[in-house]
Amino acid sequence: MPIVNRFHDLAEEITAWRRDIHQNPEILYEVTRTAAFVAEQLRAFGVDSVETGVGRTGVVGVIKGRGTSRHVIGLRADMDALPMTENTGAPWASKVPGKMHACGHDGHTAMLLGAAKYLADTRNFDGTVVVIFQPAEEGGAGAKAMIDDGLITRYGIERVFGMHNLPGMPVGTFGIRPGAMMASADRLRISVEGVGGHAARPHLSRDPIVAASAIVMAAQTIVSRNADPLEAAVLSVTMFNAGSADNIIPQKAELRGTVRTLKPEMRDIMETRLAEVVAQVGAAYGVRAELEYRRDYPVTVNDEVEAHHAADIAARVVGEQNVTRNIVPTMGGEDFSFMLNTVPGAFIFAGVGENVANLHNEAYDFNDELIPVGCSYWATLVETTLPRAA
């Protein structure tokens, strides 16, 4: 089963939705216009039920197939944009300064809507499909909010599937792997308080800048000295804020950054060692140093069986030679991980073109050529996972 023919016919309409969403980007949980559009379309398709306001602004549609199967699968798309200014020059470029769809969630939403339209129309499956449109993937844990709101239990979802576009891979290719596919993403904030004073008389102060600098350097040894060299870990300090003048040693300094790992054990090591380094280095410099470590997104772990299943589906759509079944994991984070921690499932990368700008770049624009491929993946996944009796 290659590209589902219906999607060649629907591509123009789905592209128009995608560009409309693109022009009107909304961030985090503020995706009210997008959610209203999604709900309105789902109702127009004649799906069996539509619920809004799940996890604050998420939308859930239910499509029942023909037959008696009680099996339920969930398909998930994210709706939110990013707080950055677009620089694509596209006719459908963002109309909102400081907000843009730089991660292709506009495309994800449009493709899942397209699949929902096809599935509601054809119902060539036996069981129930729950289409999930979530807010706040970018740093707001919208997937967790929907789960906390009862998404999985209320709809009886047994398996869940997600897809993300990936620049650098041609359209018509997919990449996936069993096990860890994307990293855990945690935030760190380190406050260092010393004693401020005149820069000419350092002996009368406790310099938080020197102490914080030592903490940054010592923290770099956690990856090189405490982490197993065969396991992945990243610790990046990305903000260093302190001071107000050339001749003042400040009272405080603040560091912020991110920690990424591919295994829960590594995540524990990073958190434990960082707390020790912060406290002990701070003590060595005579300042008070405190770590606030916030666990944000867990590791995105594909179920073994479901990852093979998803790869088989992708191979049906684009051919086995176009599916990488053991793609290298990325250290990016993804809140679909919360869903995969709740029920088995799989997250897959869909190539969006080799000449498409990187995700989160101001020049990025979702490539609409992916629409028939992505929609076909969803439709084929449903018709294969929930087959009608022969």
Of the candidates 137, 134, 128, the one whose C-alpha atom is nearest the C-alpha of residue 146 is: 134
Q: Which is nearer to Ni ion, 103 or 146 (CB)?
A: 103
Q: Using the rule CB under 5 A, give the single segment among 103-111, 174-182, 240-248, 343-351 that binds Ni ion.
A: 103-111
For residue 319 the two structure tokens come to 């051919």
How many amino acids of this chain bind Ni ion (CB under 5 A)? 1
Q: What is the CA radius of gyration of the chain?
A: 24
The answer to whether residues 28 and 86 touch, using CB atoms and an 8 Å cutoff, is no
Minimum distance of Ni ion from residue 315's CB (angstroms): 24
The answer to whether residues 188 and 256 touch, using CB atoms and an 8 Å cutoff, is yes
Under the binding rule (CB under 5 A), the answer on residue 82 touching Ni ion is: no
Q: Which is nearer to Ni ion, 135 or 282 (CB)?
A: 135
The answer to whether residues 346 and 161 touch, using CB atoms and an 8 Å cutoff, is yes
Q: Using the rule CB under 5 A, give the single segment among 98-106, 190-198, 205-213, 311-319 that binds Ni ion.
A: 98-106
Q: Which is nearer to Ni ion, 76 or 316 (CB)?
A: 76
Minimum distance of Ni ion from residue 74's CB (angstroms): 18
Q: Which is nearer to Ni ion, 82 or 215 (CB)?
A: 82
The answer to whether residues 146 and 54 touch, using CB atoms and an 8 Å cutoff, is yes
Minimum distance of Ni ion from residue 102's CB (angstroms): 9
What are the residues facing 179 on neighbouring strands?
A: 302
Pairing of strands 252-261, 233-242: antiparallel
Under the binding rule (CB under 5 A), the answer on residue 103 touching Ni ion is: yes
Minimum distance of Ni ion from residue 117's CB (angstroms): 23
Q: Using the rule CB under 5 A, give the single segment among 100-108, 308-316, 338-346, 377-385 that binds Ni ion.
A: 100-108
The answer for residues whose C-beta is within 8 angstroms of residue 59's C-beta and 6 or more apart is: 35, 38, 39, 42, 50, 51, 52, 79, 132, 133
Q: Which is nearer to Ni ion, 103 or 253 (CB)?
A: 103
Minimum distance of Ni ion from residue 103's CB (angstroms): 3
Q: Which is nearer to Ni ion, 328 or 390 (CB)?
A: 328
Binding mask 188-207 for Ni ion (x = CB under 5 A): --------------------
Minimum distance of Ni ion from residue 239's CB (angstroms): 22
Helix axes 370-385, 105-122, angle to 10 degrees: 50
In whole angstroms, give the CA distance from residue 319 to residue 173: 9
Q: Using the rule CB under 5 A, give the single segment among 42-50, 79-87, 99-107, 176-184 that binds Ni ion.
A: 99-107
Q: Using the rule CB under 5 A, give the single segment among 96-104, 249-257, 285-293, 344-352 that binds Ni ion.
A: 96-104
Q: Which is nearer to Ni ion, 250 or 353 (CB)?
A: 353
Minimum distance of Ni ion from residue 348's CB (angstroms): 13
Residue nearest to Ni ion (CB): 103
In whole angstroms, give the CA distance from residue 201 to residue 247: 10
**What number of residues does the chain have?**
390
The answer to whether residues 239 and 256 touch, using CB atoms and an 8 Å cutoff, is yes
Sign of the alpha-carbon torsion through 75, 80, 85, 90: positive
Sign of the alpha-carbon torsion through 86, 92, 94, 100: negative
Q: Which is nearer to Ni ion, 103 or 340 (CB)?
A: 103
Residues within the interface to Ni ion (CB under 5 A):
103
